[in-house]
Each structure stands twice: as C-alpha cells, then as structure tokens.
Amino acid sequence: MCGIVGYIGERKAFPILLEGLKRLEYRGYDSSGISLLNGELKTFKKKGKVSELEKFEEAVNSHATIGIGHTRWATHGKPDDINAHPHHSGNNRLALVHNGIIENYGTLKEYLISEGHEFRSETDTEVLVHLIEQIQESKNLDLESAVRYALQKVVGAFAIAVIDREHPNIIVGARKSSPLVVGIGDNEFFIASDATPIIKYTNQIIYLDDDEVVTISRDDNPQIRSLDNKLVDYHIEQVDLKLEEIEKGGYDHFMLKEIYQQDESIYEAMRGRINAGEGWVKVGGMQDHYNRIENAERFIIVACGTSWHAGLIAEYLFEELARIPVEVEYASEFRYRNPIIGPKDVVIALSQSGETADTLSALELAKEKGALIYGIVNNVGSSIARITDCGSYIHAGPEIGVASTKAFTSQLVVLTLMALDLAHKRGTISERNFQALISEFELIPQKVKKVLQQAAHIKSIASEIKSASNALYLGRGYNFPIALEGALKLKEISYIHAEGYPAAEMKHGPIALIDMYMPVIVIATNKNAYEKIFSNVQEVKARKGIVIAIVSEGDTEIKKIADFTIEIPNTDDVFSPLLSAIPLQLLAYYIAVMRGCNVDQPRNLAKSVTVE
C-alpha cells in the first residue's frame, strides 16, 4: 500500500519526486524518503507526512537528475526514521524502495547474516536490497541481472525501484502482485505506483505485468524482461487523466470534493449504458460472454471494505430483479476456505483501485476452477482489469480520499444496470416495470444533486452528535448494507465506534446499548417495510436514544418522533441506496472535521490495499 516514484532525465529530481510523493500520499503516510544520485548516493527520509521532507530541501542542494522516492504504510517495523524507505545495501552502493511484503524475509535474513550482512531496520525491504547486493557482488552481475536473480528467490508481493551508485544512468524496477508503471516523457522517464504522480509531465504510460523487470535509462527506450530473462514486448498507453482531477479544486478536502461530484460520477457510470427514451439498458462488458452470464447457476461477488457493501446491495438487485442466486464473500476469506467453484459460476470482483491484493488472489483461484470472472473497477489498466475475462469500468474519475464515496455509488450504478439488463433479457420483470425502472433510474443524478443541497442541515446535525463515543446504524432490505456502509464511514474518518445492523436485529442484542448518549441513525425510506421501521424508531425512543432518520420527502410519521430527520427525494426502493448513502457520507465527514481528524488520510489506513 506504499507509494513509489522515480525520475531520470534532465531536470532536478528532488522537487519532482517530492511533488510526486505528495500525490501518492493516499497510499501511505507513516513516513517518506528520497534517494538521489549525483556522484554519490544520498538519502533523506523522515517519519510522518511527506511535508516533513521539505525540511531537507535546502540541505539537499543537489543538481541530481536521478532519484527514487517512497511514502510508506507500515507493514514490517514501526513507522520511524530508520524503517522509512529508501533502504541502502550494506556497501551503500544501492538504494531501494518497495511496496509489498517479502514473506520469506526471515529465512533470507538468516542467510545474509551468515554471510556477514548487518541490518539496521526491522523491514523486509532492507533484506531485499542486501540480497541484491550479495548476488551482485558474489556473481559479478550488473544491476538488472542481480535484481532478476534476487527476485527469483523471493516469495511474496513486490513493486520495487532500485538505483546503483556505480550505474548512475539507470533505474531498475520490477513488480509482482503490486502495481508499477513507467512514464515516457520528453527526454525523461518516470517509474511510479500509478499515473497520479507523473501525469503533470506525461500521459504516456507502460503498465508492467507480474514477474517483469524494467530498466529505464537516460540513453535508450525502456527495456522489459521477464524474471527468466526473456525480452518482453510492451505497449505504450495514453492515460486519460487531467491534473485538475487530482487536485482539491477549492474544496477543503478531497473527500468533500468527491462527495459533491456524485451527481456527475453517477451520470458518467450510466452514460451510454441506458436510454429510457428508447427503452434499453446495455452493459457492454457483458456482451461477449452474455450467454454464460445469463445462464449462470450463481454469481459470487468478492470484495473488501466499502466494495463489499456494494456487493451486498447487488445481492438484493440480482436476486430480486434477475432471479439469479448470489453469494457475497469477503475476498480476504474466500481463498482460505476451499470454496466450491465451478465453470457454471460467474465471479464478480469489485475494487476501486483494481489492485486489491485479496481480491486478486480470489480471482486467481476462481480462474483456476474454471469460473467466468468479471471485474468492476475504476482504474483503467489495473491488475484486476487485466486478469478478468470481461468487465466494466465505473468511470468515477480519480478518488483520492481514503474513505470511498463516489466510487461506491458508481459501483452501485454499474451493478444496478447489470441487474436490469439481465432481468429484461431473462424476462424476470415485466416490460412495463422495466420501462418504469429505467425512467426513474435516469433521474437519479438530479435527485443526488437535491440531496447535496442539504449539506448545511446535515452539518448542524453533526454538531449535535460529534462527541458521541458510539453510534448505531439501522436499515432494512436494500438499506441494510447502507447501514453497514454508514457505520464504516464514521469509524474510518472520525474514530467513533459504530455498528450497522438490520433494523429487526436490534432487539437481538444491540438494544441493550441504547441510552440517551447513543445516536441511532435509521435509514427509513423503505416503502415495503415502513411500518416495521417506524416500530424500530419507537423502540429506540422508548429507551431515550437519539434518533437521526433518513426519510423520504413528505414523510410525516417518523418526523414526529425522531430527533432529527434528513429528507431524500422519493424513488423506487431499488435505487434508494444511491440517495441514502450520501447523507451518511456527509454526516461522517462533518463529524470528523469537527473532531479535528484528518479526513483524507485517516490514521492507520491507506487507499489501495495491495498487501494481504
């Protein structure tokens, strides 16, 4: 989950690397560092945010035009100056940055100690750079060959970049199960975890595949080889990413910007896939494998975190509309329980980044078992997009805030379109119902905009409950997963303990927690179970709980007894999660800001979980 950036060219490397690390900070912000080559190898690293490196700017005073940088999310070893990357070899000839985990680092470390190596840090990364040194010296190899040879002895996941004092005109990079890209500029080259730190300079990108090693040089085009030393042909892709998309654009936080973008991002996820006027829905990613998808015995949805909640809503969508059985699995558990998967299954992977390590591992297992695998991701060219048989991009645009907002609702849009497409073709809903649903669906972006107009009201509610220690979220049907998602958002960014429950389950335990200090957020927009939700609200009020209710416009009954209400436009229950999620995002955001929390970079979290 760490971020890597490297530069080689004609400009000063330090400011380019520093700016790149700031753009990568969503991947980790425990510590950061930069190594530069200019006759000698110099490294500057510090615990804390990337801004701490600015203190070195005067001390650097270097015209170095080659360097590598890293921003860390700690795995092996606590966050401190010593464990920060880059790490040096014992002879101070090499510097290396690493994203991933070296699973057999303990065995390798014992071997290297027996060979006389001494270690300063607690990291697995330092073991890797010492291993490259050992191989380079014992076998008299150039840097690229030594890296390839060393990585054949490594078990685990890695994206690395290495520089060598004795070869000051190259950077060597490699990847396995962690993302790494190469940027092609004008007489300059870049290497990075993704395109965000280099898009200012180039949109010409090479995506590395697993077990590939790249050498970038001042004097030649990049050269890519497999770990077994076979030359690899590569394709340079043009990335459709604008610099302004990865900047705050006048908002206080990326998260707030991304919440407010949802009327646009939901529309973009729909665009070209639905036309109510002409009466059709068409999800392009399904077309080449439509027969197999339509006749699947079941769908298995694998995801983590917020994407898992989107999968839970999809279970309701596919089963109710298309009448296809669905199982929703935590990707992190799926591969470890010897699941039953076969060729008649369709496995759907949900991931904003397209790099989630657990989800990738689940897909590899599903592929081995012969299932069709379908990816729903945001990042073009990501690992999940490349491994799947087919899939759909959600077109949400860059999401920088660690807590997912617009990617979640865009995932829901694609899943809803898939369910409607399948339902229509399978004949599991009537033509009249289908036309009514797609007409309503096209109105959702306008209705999202209306929800966002209530931000000031939601902010005032946040001020009333910001000091709570615990919170309970309740929902039924399609809105039960939204209760889970609302609770997760509050936990992630405000550090208030919160739990989501099906509303009927409150009586089976959680009701014991309710008192005058407990905010209970109830999603009460269900048309089919309104009376039952109303009863749940009465039960909370009977125990002096503080009720914040998300209700449909014109609601009068729950308004009478709730402490606070937030109205959302009326819509079909099928689409209600797209509207009810947004007040909960805003509520969590404002509470976190009022509590002085770092909204975009909550403690201990990172945006892209690329290690298991």
Number of other CB atoms surrounding residue 291 within 10 Å = 8
| Phi and psi, residue 485, nearest 5° | -65, -40
The answer to whether 390 is a known catalytic residue is no
Give CA 522 to chain center in angstroms.
27
Contacts for 326 with CB less than 8 Å, ≥ 6 apart = 298, 299, 300, 301, 314, 315, 318, 319
Tell me which residue of 180, 80, 67 sits closest to 121, measured CA to CA. 80
Identify the residue whose tokens are 């690493």. 98
Kindly state the helix (H) or strand (E) to which residue 169 belongs, with its residue range: strand 167-176
CA distance 350 to 26: 20
- 3-state SS, residue 327: strand
Check: CB of residue 578 under 8 Å from CB of residue 479. Answer: no
**Residue 367 neighbours by CB distance under 10 Å:** 16
CA angle 377, 378, 379 (to 5 degrees): 105
- Environment class of 36 (CB within 10 Å of its CB; exposed 0-12, middle 13-18, buried 19+): buried
In the residue annotation, 527 being an active-site residue is answered as: no
DSSP string for residues in 77-114: S-SSTTTSSPEE-TTS-EEEEEEEEETTHHHHHHHHHH
CB-based contact 389:289 (threshold 8 Å): yes
The DSSP symbol for 335 reads T
DSSP 76: S
Task: Say how far apart CA 371 and CA 334 lie, in whole Å.
Answer: 14
485 contacts 311 by C-beta, under 8 angstroms: no
Q: Which residues pair with 373 in a beta bridge?
A: 347
- The Cα–Cα gap between 420 and 336 comes to 33
Among 42, 46, 489, 607, the one annotated catalytic:
607
Dihedral over alpha carbons 477, 482, 485, 487 (to 10 degrees): -90
Instruction: Single out the catalytic residue among 2, 304, 390, 597.
Output: 2
Active-site residues, by number, are 2, 607
